[in-house]
Every structure is written in structure tokens, then in C-alpha cells.
Structure 1
Amino acid sequence: MKSLLEKVNAKLNAQGGFLKSITLLAGGTAFAHAITILALPFITRLYAPEDFSRLAIYTSLLSILSVIACLRYEIAIPLPESDAEAERLLIISIINCLIFSIILFLFLCFYNQKVQTWLDSKYFSQITWLLPIGVFSASLYSAYKFWCTRTKNFKAIAKTKFEQAISSVISQLSLGWLGMTSIGMLVGQFFYNSAGVFSLIRKKKKFSRYSLKEIIQTYKKYNNYPKYSVSEALFNTASVHLPMLLIAIIAASEEAGYLLLASKIMIIPMVLIGTAVSQVYYAHANDAKNKGELEEFTKNCMLKLLKIGFIPLIAIGLIAPWGFSLIFGEDWKRAGELVAWMTPWFLIQFIVSPVSMVFHVAMKQRLALILQFIGFFLRVGSIFLALIVSEDLVSEFYALSGFMFYLIYLILILYILKDIDNKRFFDE
């Protein structure tokens, strides 16, 4: 037994602990996500599809805003050789997300009615008070998560996943059981995005003293991130969540709720495996680049992801059309049909998304921006095309656009890896 454990431990610690890091993150995330999935059949019986549509609006706005709140300085934290420089990036990220959240709060105070009219949503007044604090908490969590990624403290990140799942499920079930369905899903999502941030903060209690000049120098040194990556992230997130907003506004009131539940199920492999691979990949990719092994390292990751994700995702797509009614209740049959349409999209996303940071490692921020720009118009354009063809097929058109986007994504990553040393390629 001792010999077997030693062999397992040696295997996990191979390649600089890459497999061990993935196992740790995936294990923590899997345990936490299992709680969420087990609770879904109860949640779908406490909340109606319209409540999920309300959640879809809040989640879309929160995701779009929080991803740019730090001006993307947080994703640069793992890169510097100097810990002092990385610490200054963390400080800059915290300052940015605080200022951004305050501006958002003031904007919503003064223009609440106008935004509600613009969104054509009767739900918006119920989420206004929760949105600024949700953006601040989610972006702060992201900044500290990248610090833990730098220090390879994946155990702390795994622990927060469990805290997020527990707090989210308890709040949604409790408020739903009490009949507070108008805010129950929203409060649960708030805890899901922000719970665990204090655990990460405790891992980085003290900061060294830096002059304003040093902070400004670091700000300028990494100004490619706000210059290119903010737009890239905005287009990337908006291309996923803006269509959800449009569907909530222009389609049947419950359609966005069906699409949200379908997405929650299809994202399971990404949450369980893909997110862990992404964080560990980014922590090791820069070393692989310096050794001239980035192409081999990235392709091996994608091949492993294909082997892991193919069978589970195809199985989910085949079972969902009839299985959703049995598991989640008769009201959710439409969500199962959408899962079948979304299967090709999520299969390619599962392979591509975990290694998407290759654009930043290879300093191809401009190309990443162009790609997200294409994805944004492809997905949003699919919604308007569906309105011309048939409003009843708006979600199906959205699913097809997701597949097309990640197919383009895959082709470009392979192209980058092939020409990584070509100094004439795009940014150079």
C-alpha cells in the first residue's frame, strides 16, 4: 500500500506538480459543484422559469461588468518574475474594482429608471441594489484568485469553491421555501460569485510599501491589458451574456430561464475540469514558453481535454431532451431540448477555453481582441437573424453561433502555436 501511495504521489508531482494541481482544483470544484447540481431538482420546483429569467438578467449584467472592473490588470498578476511587481498589480486591481463599483452605484442611483426602460425589464428594479456590491465582490475575488494562482496556492482556491456552493444553495433553498422567489435566486447568485473572497484575502494580509511613482510605473508597464484586454474581455463576455439579455427582453418571458438552466447543465464539465486546467495551465504556460515548449504543452492539454470531455458531453446531449422533465419537472422540457442543440458548442469550448490564455502568454492581445470582436457580432447577430427567420428559434440560433465561434477560436489557437516564433505575426 505504501509503495502504491508513493507511486501515485510521484505521478501527481510530475511535470512540476501540474497533475497534482489539476487534481486538487478539480476535486474541490467537483465536490462543490455536486452540491449545486444535487440541489437543482429542488430549486427548479421552488422557482418558476420566469424566476430563472430574472436570474439570467442579473447574471448577464454581473458577468459583463465584473470582468472589466479591474481593467484586466488582475490577469497579469501571475506573469512578473518579481513578487513586488505582482503585488503592485494586485493593488492596482483592487483600486480599479473599487472605483468601478462606486461609479456603477452612482450611475444606477441617478439613471435607474432609464436603464430599466432601456432593458424593457420589469425585473431590473429588484436587482439594482445588489448589482454594484456583486460586481465589487466578484472582481475582488478574481484579483485574489490570480494572486493565489501565482503562488500556486490552489488549495485555497478549491476551498472557496466549496464555500460558494454551500452559501448559494442554502440561500436559494431557504428563500424559495419562504416564498421569497423574487430575490431568492439573485441572492444565491451573489453568494456564488463572491463567497470565499475573505478566505483568499486572508492568504495575502500584508502588502509592502510602495510609492505612488512605483504604482504608476507598473500601471504604465502593463497598459496593454486595459488597452486591449478590457475590450477583448468585454466582447468575450458580452458575446455570451448580451444575447441572454436580448432573449430575456424580446422572446417569451421564460425562454431565458430555459436557456440558463440548459447552460448550467452543459457547463458542468467545464466547471469540474476545464476551470482547474485553465488556472493550472496559466500558472505553467509562461515557464513552458521560456523553455520553448509552449506548442507541445498546449496541444497535449487540448488532446487530454478532448479525451476527458467527449463521452460525457455527448451523453448529456442525447439524454437531456427526455431526461429534463423527469429530473427537473415537466416545466423544464424545453431546457432539455436546448441542451441537445448546445452540445457541439460546449464540446469545442471545453477543449479551447482552458488554454485560451495562450493569447496572453504569447503576447497576442490584439489578435485576441479581434477574435472576441468577431464572436460578439456572430452571436448577437444570430439573435437578430433568428428574429427575421423565426422568433421561436432564437435560442437554437444562439447555440449554433456558439459552435461557430469556438471552432474559429480553435483554428486560431492552432495557428498561433504553429507560428509562435514568427516575429512578423500580428503583434510583433
Structure 2
Amino acid sequence: MQIRLKKVLLESQYFKYIYQLTMGSFLAQIITVLVAPFMTRLYAPEEIGIYTLLLTVVTIFGPVLCGKYDQAIVAAEDENEIVQLIVGSIFVSFVFIILITIGFNIYLTLNSQITDKVGGFAYLVIGVLFITVFVNILTAYNNRYKEYKIISTVIVTRTLAQNVGVLVFGLLKFGSIGLLLSQLIGMLVGFKRQGKHLYQNRRKLREVTFKGIKTSLIKYKDLPRFSMPAHFINTAAYSILNFFIIDLFGLAVFGFYAISYRILGLPLNLISMNVSKVFFQRAFEEKKMLGNYRSSLKIISVFLLCLSIPMVIILFMLGPFVFRQVFGGGWNEAGVYVQILSPMYGLRFIVSALAPALIISGKQKMEFYMSNLFIIASVLSYMVCKLMGGEIYIFLTIITLTYSLIYIIFYLYIYKLSKGI
């Protein structure tokens, strides 16, 4: 039976799905890479720093706005349960957005230097969050029905729209406001195509009842209880570094770090996150058939490892040189940051794609505990440099070492779960 399953996995559309998602993301990231050298010449490091800092709100809260109920759409039993989860996800998201807006307003009040630079345009971030709710839900719905070509196409069109905005607003000298506007415009693209299937089944939405929503939300209650806080903490572990770096080294240094973080994130957006979608769907099916998902994990692990190793070597060896040549002499510093962080990002590239294994195994609680380690590592790194007066290189080195160890532990645990023991 297991040999038969392996044959099905290899000869089916398993890698076709990965190809469809990856090609779309590849084109999107090519667009981003092509625009990046113009971006670093049209915007000052401080402007990129302010934009990245404000967008941190979206980075932290965007993936968890639905309480992770959007992930349940992929595993839902039938169409009725799907629409109940969709409506429930929207309701949960709106509650969170109200709370986030209140907190964001307090933050801006306490940090007037931000509003001094961009004024009320800072609240464009809340608009981006609002749109993110529907992007998350529609993406999960497309994933449910293996509409990977649609997901791929929308990724490209959104990225193209956003980067065109970056260039246009940069030429108009809009600064950080232009970057925020381009982000909002990009998010608005692609809704019609992504929601076409759901629109065709819109009659199901009329059958939604409060009782049905409540039942579905209770059924998948472990997602907001464990998976959501774990994802939030995991994301915050990286995003909190933004605030630490600004406090320790200033906005200019953070601007360099923001570009290095952006470039290092390309492989994650290009391959890892898309592979994760396919792994989730296929491993879930394998688990139902055999009670384990070892084959899916091994295939994807080897695939990601073969990509990760050369990526890390290239970044480590050529980081400063590439940044100096591509982004301009003044951005060599960001290349040094990439050089330091690349080994850790190589591990993150692999483990992030496999994180849905915890949902498949019903171990969301462990994801929460593991993610706390990243926060602890971040705070300890900050405290060491704060007390000892360490420079940015020391701070990033400590982050690389501690985060890498956590990712190794994380993978070993996922591997154990895959055996179905």
C-alpha cells in the first residue's frame, strides 16, 4: 500500500502543483528583484525603514487575522462547512481589526516621529489589513480546490501592480507614503479571479446559520487556541527585531536591515510558502490513507534541501559584492547583514514549508511552545547587545546561532510526528 502511495505521489500532479505555484511566485519575485535596484535609488534608507516598520503591523497580524480558521477551509468536510468557516473567519477578523486599530492608534500617539513623516497616511496599514482578510480566505478556498494556477496568476499581478506603484510614487518623490500606497494598490488586484469559484457557489452562503458558524468554529477551536498564537509569536519573533534594531542602532541601520530582510525573504515567498501549501494538502491526504505522512515529508525535505544549500552558499560568499553592484555602493552594508543571516534563513526555508505538519498531527499546542523559543532568543539577543554595547554584527550573529538551533529542533520534532507514532 505504501509503495502504491509513493507511486501515486510521484506520478500524480504532486510536483505539477508545486511548479504552478512556484512559477507564479518566481515571476513575482523576478519583478521585485528587477525593481529593487531602482527602489534603493528612489528611496532613502530612512524612508524604506519607516515603510517597513509600519508594514510590520501587517506582517505580525496579517496571517492570524482569521484566527487561523482560514486553514480549516482546506480540511473542511464539505461545502456547507466551508461557507460556515468563511463567514466565521470574517467575523473573527473584524473583531481583531478593531482591536488592532485601537492599539495602532496608541502606538502612533507615543511615536510622533512616524506621523511627523507620513501623517495620517500611516493608517493605510489598517486598510491593507482589511484587504488581507479576504486574501487569506480566498487563498485557502483556492487551495482547497487545488486552484493553484489562479493563486499563481494573482501573485504575479499583485506584485506587478505594487512594484509599478513603487516606481511611479518614487519618481514623484512620495517617499514612505508612496511605498504604503503601492502596497495597498497591489493588494486590491486579483480579487475577481480568485473569488470566481466561490461566487459560483454563492447560493451556499444563503444557507449559513449562526448555529452552523458556531459549530464549525468550535470544531476547529484548536486553531485559534494554539496555531494562531504560535504563528503570531513565530512571526513576532522576526518582526520584533525591527523594533530592537531601531532602538539599538537607529533608523538608518534599520533601513539597511530592511533591504537585507526583503532579499532574504524572496526564497521563502518564491518557493517555501508555496511548497507548504502543496505539502499541507498532500500530507493531509496521506495521513488519512496510511496514518502517517513520511513519504510526503521525505520528498519535500530533500527537494527543499537541494535548493537551500546552494542558496546559502551563494548568499554567504557573494552577499556584499552583489549588494554593492546591484543596489549601489551605499548598500554594501545590507549585503554584510545577508552574509551573516543566510545560514539561519536556509534552515528557515526548509522548516517553514513543513510547519503545517503540526496541524495535520493535531499538535498545534507544541507549535505554540516552540515559537516561544524565538521570542526568548530575540529578547536575550537584545539584552546582550543593550548591556554590552554590541554592534549590529554581533546582534545578527547571535540571532543566527540561536534561531538556527531552534529550527533544527523544530524539524526533528516534525520528523518524529510524520511517522504517526
TM-score by length of 1: 0.89
SS in 2 for 1:71: coil
**Residue 412 of structure 2 is aligned to residue 414 of structure 1:** yes
Aligned ranges for residues 372-391 of structure 1 at < 5 Å?
A: 372-391=371-390
Does the 8 A contact of 1:56 with 1:256 survive in 2? no
Q: Are residues 1:116 and 2:111 paired?
A: yes
- Alignment partner for residue 128 of structure 1, among 122, 132, 145? 122
CA 1:124/1:276 → structure 2, altered by over 3 Å: closer, same or farther?
same
- Determine the C-alpha separation between the residues in 1 that align with 2:73 and 2:269: 22
Deviation digits for residues 18-48 of structure 1, max 9, x if unmatched?
1000011111111111011001111110001
The CA deviation string for residues 178-197 of structure 1, in whole angstroms up to 9 with x for no partner, is 11113112222334455334
State the identity %: 23
Of 244-253 and 279-288, more deviation after overlay is shown by 244-253
8 Å CA contact retained: 2:382, 2:395:
yes
Superposition pairs of residues 96-115 of structure 1, within 5 angstroms: 96-105=92-101, 108=104, 111=106, 113-115=108-110
* Residue among 283, 286, 296 paired with 2:284: 286
Does 1:334 find its partner at 2:329?
A: no
SS in 1 for 2:195: helix
- Residue 47 of structure 1 aligns with which residue? 43
1:235 aligned partner, one-letter code: I
Q: Does 1:275 align with 2:273?
A: yes
Task: Tell me how far apart the structure 2 counterparts of residues 71 and 47 of structure 1 sit (CA, whole Å).
Answer: 35
**For the residues of structure 2 that align with 1:207 and 1:398, how far apart are their CA atoms?**
53
Moved more, 194-203 or 182-191: 194-203
**Residue identity in the other structure for 1:26:** T
Gaps of 5+ in 2: 1-6
Aligned partner of 2:156 in structure 1 is 162
Q: Secondary structure at the match of 2:67?
A: coil
Equivalent residue in structure 2 for 1:178, among 134, 151, 172: 172
Equivalent residues of 2:358, 2:367 under 8 A apart: yes
Equivalent of 2:13, from 17, 28, 38?
17
Q: Write the letter of the residue equivalent to 1:204.
A: L
Other structure's SS at 1:78 match: helix
Where is the helix percentage greater, Structure 1 or Structure 2? 2
Residue 113 of structure 1: how far off its partner (Å)? 4.9
Alpha carbons of structure 1 residues 106 and 268: separation in structure 2 relative to 1, 3 Å = closer
Per-residue Cα deviation, 1:344-391 (whole angstroms, up to 9, x for no partner): 111111111111110111110110000011111212321222222234
Amino acid at match of 1:21: Y
CA 1:251/1:300 → structure 2, altered by over 3 Å: closer, same or farther? same
Higher mean C-alpha deviation, range 126-135 or range 187-196: 187-196
Q: Structure 1 residues 396, 198: CA separation in 2 closer, same or farther (over 3 Å shift)?
A: farther
What is the aligned residue count?
410
State the 1:262 CA deviation.
0.7
The corresponding residue for 2:198 is 204
Deviates more, 1:120-129 or 1:58-67: 120-129
After superposition, where does 1:46-65 map in structure 2 within 5 Å? 46-65=42-61
Compared CA separation, residues 55 and 396, structure 1 to 2 (3 A): farther
Q: Is the 8 A contact 2:43 2:175 kept in 1?
A: yes
Deviation at 1:307, TM superposition (A): 0.8
Q: Amino acid of the residue matched to residue 114 of structure 1?
A: T
Deviations 1:41-91 (A, max 9, x none): 111100011011112211211111222221111111111232321221122
> Structure 1 residue 308: deviation in Å?
1.8
CA distance in 1, matches of 2:275, 2:150: 16
In 1, distance between residues paired with 2:361 and 2:36?
Answer: 40
| From 132, 141, 144, the counterpart of 1:147 | 141
Is the 8 Å Cα contact of residues 297 and 418 (structure 2) preserved in structure 1? no
Q: Give the CA deviation at 1:301.
A: 0.8
User: Aligned partners of 1:387 and 1:315: how far apart in 2?
Assistant: 32
Q: Counterparts of 1:180 and 1:257 in 2: how far apart (Å)? A: 17
Is the CA contact (8 Å cut-off) linking 2:373 and 2:406 kept in structure 1?
A: no
Distance 1:419-1:308 versus aligned 2 partners, 3 A rule: closer
Cα distance in 1 for partners of 2:36, 2:23 equals: 20
Q: Structure 1 residues 212 and 127, CA, compared in 2 at 3 Å: closer, same or farther?
A: same
* Residue type of the alignment partner of 2:139: K
Change (3 A) 1:250 1:207: farther
* Contact 2:347/2:407, CA 8 A, preserved across alignment: no
Residues 181-225 of structure 1, C-alpha deviations (whole Å, 9 max, x = no match): 131122223344553344322331115112211111111111111
**How big is each residue's C-alpha offset from its partner over 1:227-276, in whole Å with a ceiling of 9 and x where there is no partner?**
11221121011101111123224422211111111112222222222122
Alpha-carbon contact 2:323-2:334 (below 8 Å) kept: yes
Give the Cα separation in 1 of the matches to 2:318 and 2:170.
28
Q: Is the 8 A contact 2:361 2:417 kept in 1?
A: no
Matching residue of 2:3: none
1:306-317 to structure 2, matched below 5 A, reads 306-317=305-316
Q: Distance in 2 between matches of 1:153 and 1:262?
A: 32
Bigger CA drift: 296-305 or 358-367? 296-305
Q: What letter is aligned with 2:157?
A: E
Q: Indicate if the aligned counterparts of 2:128 and 2:187 stay in contact, CA closer than 8 A.
A: yes
Match of 1:8 in 2: none
